[in-house]
Amino acid sequence: MYSPQRDVYSKNGKVNRKAGKCIMKRTIITIGMLAALLFNILSISVYADETGMVSVQGLRLQYADDGSLQAFADVSLSDIQATGVDFELKYDNRYLTPSEFATNTPTREAALMMSENTAPFEAVLEKSKADHVFELKLSQILSNLVEVNLVPNPNLTKLGYITKVDAFAPEYKKLTALNIPDSNIQVVTMSFKVTDTETFLKLSGEELSNLLRVESDAHYVYVNSDKLEYFDDTPLNVQVSIDTEHIPAKPTPPPEPEEPTEQFNLTGVVAGWNPNQPFIMDIYSEQDGSEALVKTVKSTDADEEGNMLYGITSHTMLGYTEWAFSIPLDRGKEYTIRLSKLSHIDYIDVSFTAPETENELNFNTAAKGEGKEKQAIELIAGDINDDGLVTFSDRAEFMRFFNLQKPKELFGVEFNKNDLNGDGTVSFSDYDLLLQNYDKQY
């Protein structure tokens, strides 16, 4: 059913209180207009219905590192097929303040307060190479209310709980939808700092059960600019209880920080093709006013017992290969890095200053910016003649070896340069790679 009091989120992300009625009308008209469309949606099995459930269970308590008491509320979904889920969680601000999940510091940033439970979605994340399941764009924290808007990350591909589906709206359109079965799936945990701890820990069961309340919820299917909302009349399943017997002991204060070591580790992930050829990292540093090569590290470098010195390389059946590296470097310097691999365009001139105290510096962040630390840097394959471009000259060179039946030993390194994916032949899959990367640049 439609609730006229409910805030309406406009497509540009603002909560639109005044325009609520107007948008509702439009939605209702839209439903009429979309009768045929609805049939289409149902026929492709993305729909929202009123049996779906959002439930909140709390509070789990623990002491944060700074000695403050932190209370967690777990949010679960069940039986939901929708492109988004909204709910409003009212909290008693005499005892609870939204806090950063990681530190328990009070916050007004919904994204910092909530932590995704990625476990049920691991397979989807892995396949999509995405690092988060939900977008919390419209979520916000008010003085006694958290408005939550859970929308699946549009970059996630079809698999399990997240589904990419086709709809007609009226144009053909792809939607990313949640596809949660009727068993409870715990999706996010919300963090609150407990204030007035002494009184809080003496609250009765009834008082505790009034600490959190869900005001309204909706799940919906967005089709282009139109939003079909489905509200549920039945009160949400909100359980608040505290097992004071199981509050862990206060942590001992952290030990004084140790003197920083003289080295730090440069970590990161790079990717390319051909597992038989190493990734090569040339590391330069400024000395006496000019750049000098400090060291060259290869992904295949190992000690005498065969232990890899600089991290792990893994690859797929097709030859796509990744190197997750960790390289010790001296502090007190500025570095510039060049990454290379046979028949790939060099990735050059990533510069950074060694950290003063941290023991780790992320190369991918230094190269691509904050938040990109989990994203592999992909080297472009196909630069067979090593001129820094993938062009017709590489194709001409490639054609000399294409589908040649002679053993690769005859041609040695020339052959290896043209076997882009390293499967032992110079074949159509290499050609395909070459074409994909034609004229491509970083």
Q: Judged by CB, which is closer to Ca ion: 226, or 430?
A: 430
Q: Does 419 bind Ca ion (CB under 5 A)?
A: yes
Residue among 16, 402, 27 at smallest CA distance from 231 = 27
**Beta carbon of residue 428, minimum distance to Ca ion (angstroms, whole number):** 9
How far apart CA 173 and CA 226 sit, in angstroms, is 13
Q: Judged by CB, which is closer to Ca ion: 161, or 347?
A: 347
Q: Does 116 bind Ca ion (CB under 5 A)?
A: no
Q: Does 432 bind Ca ion (CB under 5 A)?
A: no
Q: Does 276 bind Ca ion (CB under 5 A)?
A: no
**Beta carbon of residue 45, minimum distance to Ca ion (angstroms, whole number):** 40
Q: Does 415 bind Ca ion (CB under 5 A)?
A: no
Pick from 430, 431, 434, 437: which binds Ca ion (CB under 5 A)? 430
**Beta carbon of residue 388, minimum distance to Ca ion (angstroms, whole number):** 7
Contact region for Ca ion (CB under 5 A) — 78-86, 223-231, 362-370, 381-389?
Answer: 381-389
Between the alpha carbon of residue 435 and those of residues 197, 250, 301, 340, 380, the distances in Å are 64, 60, 32, 20, 11
Q: Does 437 bind Ca ion (CB under 5 A)?
A: no
String marking each residue 334-373 x if it binds Ca ion according to CB under 5 A: ----------------------------------------
Q: Does 92 bind Ca ion (CB under 5 A)?
A: no
- Residue numbers 385-404 binding Ca ion by CB under 5 A: 385, 387, 389, 394
The token duo for 273 is 């093709």
Contact region for Ca ion (CB under 5 A) — 26-34, 351-359, 372-380, 415-423?
Answer: 415-423
Q: Does 421 bind Ca ion (CB under 5 A)?
A: yes
215-218 long-range contacts, Cβ below 8 Å, gap at least 24?
Answer: 215/87, 215/88, 215/89, 215/90, 215/145, 216/3, 216/6, 216/86, 216/87, 216/88, 217/54, 217/85, 217/86, 217/87, 217/88, 218/6, 218/85, 218/86, 218/87
Q: Does 383 bind Ca ion (CB under 5 A)?
A: yes
Peptide bond into 170 cis (omega under 30): yes
Q: Judged by CB, which is closer to Ca ion: 74, or 383?
A: 383
Q: How many residues of this chain bind Ca ion (CB under 5 A)?
A: 9
Q: Does 423 bind Ca ion (CB under 5 A)?
A: yes
Q: Judged by CB, which is closer to Ca ion: 232, or 419?
A: 419
**Beta carbon of residue 436, minimum distance to Ca ion (angstroms, whole number):** 14
Q: Does 414 bind Ca ion (CB under 5 A)?
A: no
Binding residues vs Ca ion (CB under 5 A): 383, 385, 387, 389, 394, 419, 421, 423, 430
